[in-house]
Structure 1
Amino acid sequence: MRALAAAGAVTMATCALFAVPARAAVADEGMERLFTFKDPKITESSGLAVSPTHKGIYYTHNDSAASPTFYAVDGKGRTRATFQVQGAQARDWEAMAATKDPATGQATLWFADIGDNLNGAWPDISIYRVVEPQTLKDATLPATRYRFRYADGGRNAEGIMINPRTGRLYVVSKEFAGSVYAAPKKLRTDKTNVLRKVAVAPLMATDAAYAPDGSSYVVRTYFSATIYSSSGKMITRVSMPELKQAESIAYTADGKSLLTGSEGAQSPVYRVTIPAAARPATTPSPTSAAPQTPAQDAGAASRAAVDAGATGLSIKDILIWVAAAATAVGTITFIARRTR
């Protein structure tokens, strides 16, 4: 129990360091507050996704210590329906994704129970697949559960994304040197699926999402968002509004903007315009191009670990990273001495 308390204290100290005060309703040019969650039950919005079939509807769910519940919210922040995921656990739900199956066209929602503040304490993690409800009415929905483990050992993660061209699932770890992990092409329910590293990710990634046309993906951190080509090459960084604890990221349906949210009661969701050069070239059409996946050329992983540009870091970010590392080490040392 002392070890668990120590780990929790370290996590809280690190998160507190990265968190910044909320800003006014209208942020910088290209940023606008889209809505604020009005439901008092939405207190730790950790995942965010745009409905593939219900126009103007957004999905979210709470963080750890919550029930396996998600909410359908309209463009004014009002909850239109509350859904329970049958037979699911919510140990630490950290992310979600929404897409249409490229083979069947079926709208699908994914919920990721992937948080692990002990960085590898859980023997496996779970991600649930739910068919998107056709009507916005409170209901309990069946789910398919997939178990996963990392090929290179357990870790904490807060981001998932689905390539709309291939339907392949990716998990993005939340670490000082994060990574993008690819799931097998075909997921199995009768065995644990293995996640394998395919690309680097920015410092302390809190969420990720694929563009609607599958040509690029974005990774959110406490500081900003970084857009990558589907091959894993950095395209650009996008400034984000300052939020209390930036937790979520999603693309708008047209792929021209990003949506980002925060934890906290009555938390806001912002829409941020993507620079023109980083937007999809055409109207989203997931099946119109050949499949691609995040990947690195030989030796890129080791180079990226020290290449600030490749991981979307500025000098300010690096200084904050150093301060966070020092704080974490100091906290661990203090707690270890107190709990001997």
Structure 2
Amino acid sequence: MPTVVEPKLIAGNGNKPLANAISRRMSLYRGMSVKPVDARVERFNDQEIFVEVYENVRGEDMFIVQSTSNPANDNLMELLIMADALRRSSAARITAVLPYFGYARQDRRTKARTPISAKLVANMMVTAGIERVLTMDLHAAQIQGFFDIPVDNLYASPIFALDLKTQFKDQMSDVMVVSPDVGGVARARELAKRINAPLSIVDKRREKPGEIAEMTVIGDVTGKTCIIVDDICDTAGTLCKAAEVLCQHGAKEVHAYITHGVLSGPAVERITNSVMKSLVITDSIPATDAVTGAQNIRVLPTAPMFAQAILNIWNGTSVSSLFDDDTLGPIYEGIL
């Protein structure tokens, strides 16, 4: 088998802007051009997905960049079919780079006779020939255990911490990190430790999915600049309500840092009209025109982190080193 010389990227339609940004950052780090492999991902008239790779990938270390966001089923099938095409073309190793892992919210049986779809998706990916997964901020850390292959789960909190220290450098003593629910306390605590800030919690009680019956603030937020931290913002109902409740409890202003901006339905309109000063998301999901045009929504780049993680996987070096500010800071110097 030929010696693996260079890491090679191939991009689906899930997040091409991010795939191109990753290739540019890899080119910068490597001092040589790294371009996505020439391929076509198309649909027949009946919407069947067809993939053709135009370059030789025999013996190569392949990285498929594909967010399984809306349309989740189409993007997931693209990922599986691309993996099968590469496996049948004798690629040495196939790594799925999933900036956003779809179906992650279905990680357990919440009621009788419901599926664990995240496990099903994991099984499908392994069967398709994927040998490693690189993702960011899984909805639940235990999803890594659904795979029988290595999973590298990156975290957005180091990027958020760098951005917060830049945006609020003159008022860090007033910053308080807030978890919008009890389940996200670990994520919020991680960011609070990084910026040496106190932690508060908004406890919500649901009557049924999509409806919030009651919200209670745990902790004194009076006069604080509150930073709500979460992994996913879908319709933004919980987020905007939490911001409103925090303001009612005396918060000076409220900002939100969310990893995956799903932002479906009325989300952008709600955020625009809410009491939140700003919403900061990453580019793990492609920004729509509405998101780009919203004045109080800002997008942070993840390409520098993903590019370095891909190179570390290819080199066989540590990926967890990217969790440290000392390592990540220089990568984002001049960007944030």
Does the alignment reach a TM-score above 0.5?
A: no
Higher relative helix content = 2
Q: Greater CA radius of gyration, 1 or 2?
A: 2
Higher RCO (CA-CA < 8 Å; seq separation 6+) = 1
Please, what TM-score do these two structures have when normalized by structure 2?
0.28
Q: What is the TM-score when the length of structure 1 is the normalising length?
A: 0.27
